[in-house]
Amino acid sequence: MSSPQQSDLGQPPSPPGAASSRFEAVEPRLRRAAEGLGDGLWDWDVETDEVWYSSGFSRLLGCEPGLMPPKFSAWSSRLHPADAEASFLLIDQHVSDATAFDLRVRLRLESGEYRWFRLRGLPVADSAGSVRFVSGGLTDLQEQTLLERRLEDSERRFLQRQRMDAIDSLAGGIAHEFNNVLQAVRGYVAFAMEEVEPGTQPHLDLEQSLVATDRAAALTRKLLAYTREPEFLGRSFDVGDVLNELLDLLRPVIGENIDLRTRWPSQELPVVGEQVALRQALLNLCVNARDSMPEGGELLVRAEPFRVYETRTDTAAELPAGEYCRIWVTDSGVGVPRELRDSIFDPFFTTKKVGHGAGLGLAVVRGVVDRFGGAIHVHSEPGVGASFCLILPVHKGQAMNDPCVAAAGLSGTVLWIEDEPLVREVGRRMLEAAGLDVIAVRDGEAGLEALADHANEIDLVVSDVVLPGVSGARLLEETRRIRHGLPFVFCTGYDPMSAHGRKLLDLGAEVIAKPFDRDALLEVVAAQLPARAAVAID
């Protein structure tokens, strides 16, 4: 490629000093106006390669006025390597065509720093159409470019949030509909099992149907987890159980060239949250660790009790004084550069190649930890490895991985509101089998009518959140108005700990996620019935 100064445009040679002498006669007011705008002027004799630079041009590049060599290379040699080839080609083309050009380029200052500039040029042709001179200006665009970059970053983050909201909405809607279907399937399979002799092949087949249903329910929870809205059931479980399950998942995926080591105490470390969500978060960390060690290495997963004696505010989340569990995932991989540590938990941020990562894994981890009321830290040295530490508050009670609720022996009247007929029938039969009287209705309006007609008889309201007509939230408000203090439970296929779900909890309603089994439903119902208060109708 020939640079512009090497172009053979066929003009007759110009006399020495032609470029500078042309500008000695320039109207002084015009030159002062250009200097006042902060622009630099230049005039290039294409034939001799002599260039006249104004004092403003020199100052923009950090040079003393008058000290820039009067050559094209005085500025072209300062082009950023990434801009040089394209700039030369463009200038060559415009000079050949005798057309104006307008470039945005990075030029190196005397200090060695690169800044953004706007370089404009207007070829001046003679009567024969041959270009002899190119005149133009140089404008500093650094501040404008930085502002544009900030605006682009803001737009990108805004679009990411919109995309995340769209995914949240889509995933939540799918989960809601799918969980309603699973609720009906699970309920009717359980009813059928009660009619079949245990140990027979039909009974075993039905058991496998329940297993498949539970796996499908776990898939919906993972779907919600990947949109940073993991389902949070608020049940106590032992971290050790999750780590044991994690090992079974890890062994097939980490590869034989990675040495997997584990260490945690035999004592229980009970935490309150969603067991599937924590397992997914830890699996994400371990898969990231594997990917950071393509040639092999060591992966250590360990847990330990940890006590905070005074409220900690030096963490990503404030940690009140109390008992905690620390879970470490440590690898010997490439590490996390310091400049990226503040970004790695952002949605869609990824250091992996296109097609090899969606940038959601660590965002899921942060969301899960937040829902447990904990904090997460990253310790890393480039080339040495990375260590992610999850700090989760320990539950004072015992872990309750397998709650056992009496299938019968309850008493009272439950208002059951559900618009899906199959789910409504499943819930009614579960509650009646436990000894409860059930008023089952299809929507919020019918629920309010039942409340008005049986206000003093109803001991508990169990309702879906999304209902035709009167919504679940409105139904809760009206129930409080009709009979203040009446226990209220929402059962929903949506995330109970989404912003909407937390609002319902703040209003005093319990929340149970679909698909639930009989024991889970009766556990919540039994906890609410003894607490019912004898209150008057407004």
Distance, CA of 489 to CA of 511 (rounded, Å)? 6
Q: Which residues contact 430 (CB under 8 A, 6 or more apart)?
A: 187, 518, 521, 522
386 and 454 fall within a common domain: no
Tokens of 98: 């005798």
Tokens 């390597």 -> residue = 81
For residue 506, being part of any structural domain is answered with yes
The DSSP 8-state label assigned to residue 401 in this structure reads: S
Q: Is residue 154 part of a domain?
A: no
Question: Would 185 be classed as within a structural domain?
Answer: no
3-state helix, strand, coil in the chain (%, to 5): 40, 20, 35
In this structure, the answer to whether residues 118 and 17 fall within a common structural domain is: yes
Does some domain include residue 25? yes
On whether residue 186 sits in a domain, the answer given is no
Q: Mark whether 241 and 351 lie in a shared domain.
A: yes
| The last residue of a domain, from among 337, 367, 402 | 402
**Does one domain contain both 244 and 391?**
yes
Residue keyed to tokens 């780590």: 243
Domain presence at residue 359: yes
Same domain membership, residue 70 and residue 126: yes
CATH number assigned to the domain comprising residue 38: 3.30.450.20
265/368 same-domain check: yes
Question: Which residues are 258's β-sheet partners?
Answer: 297
198 located within any domain: no
Are 406 and 522 within 8 A, CB to CB? yes
- Do 57 and 15 belong together in one domain? yes
263 and 123, same domain (yes or no): no
Output the tens digit of pLDDT for each of the chain's 538 residues.
444 433 333 333 334 454 455 555 555 665 666 565 667 888 999 888 899 888 889 889 999 887 888 988 888 999 999 999 999 999 999 998 899 999 999 999 998 989 999 999 999 888 778 898 999 999 999 888 888 888 887 787 777 777 766 766 676 677 778 888 888 898 889 889 888 898 889 888 888 888 888 878 877 766 665 554 444 456 788 999 889 888 877 877 787 889 999 898 888 899 988 787 888 889 889 988 898 898 889 999 999 998 887 655 444 456 788 899 999 999 998 887 666 656 566 544 444 443 333 334 577 788 788 888 888 888 888 778 889 999 999 987 554 444 444 445 688 999 999 999 999 999 999 999 999 999 999 998 999 999 989 988 999 999 998 888 888 888 988 988 888 888 999 887 765 555 555 566 666 678 888 888 888 899 889 888 854 433 333 3
- On whether both 394 and 249 belong to a single domain, the answer is yes
What is the secondary structure of 294-327 as a DSSP string?
TT-EEEEEEEEEEEESS-B-SSSS-B-SEEEEEE
User: What residue ranges in 215-315 does DSSP mark as E strands?
Assistant: 235-238, 258-263, 270-273, 297-308
| Local structure of residue 79 (DSSP, 8 states) | B
Number of folded domains that form the chain: 3
User: Which of 114, 140, 166 is a domain's end point?
Assistant: 140
What are the tokens at 370?
A: 């937040």
Measured distance CA(18)–CA(536) in Å, rounded? 103
pTM equals 0.45
Angle at which helices 472-482 and 444-453 pack, to 10 degrees?
10
Final residue before a domain boundary, out of 140, 167, 199: 140
Q: Which domain holds residue 433?
A: 413-531
Pick the closest to residue 9 from 47, 48, 62, 49 (CA basis). Answer: 47
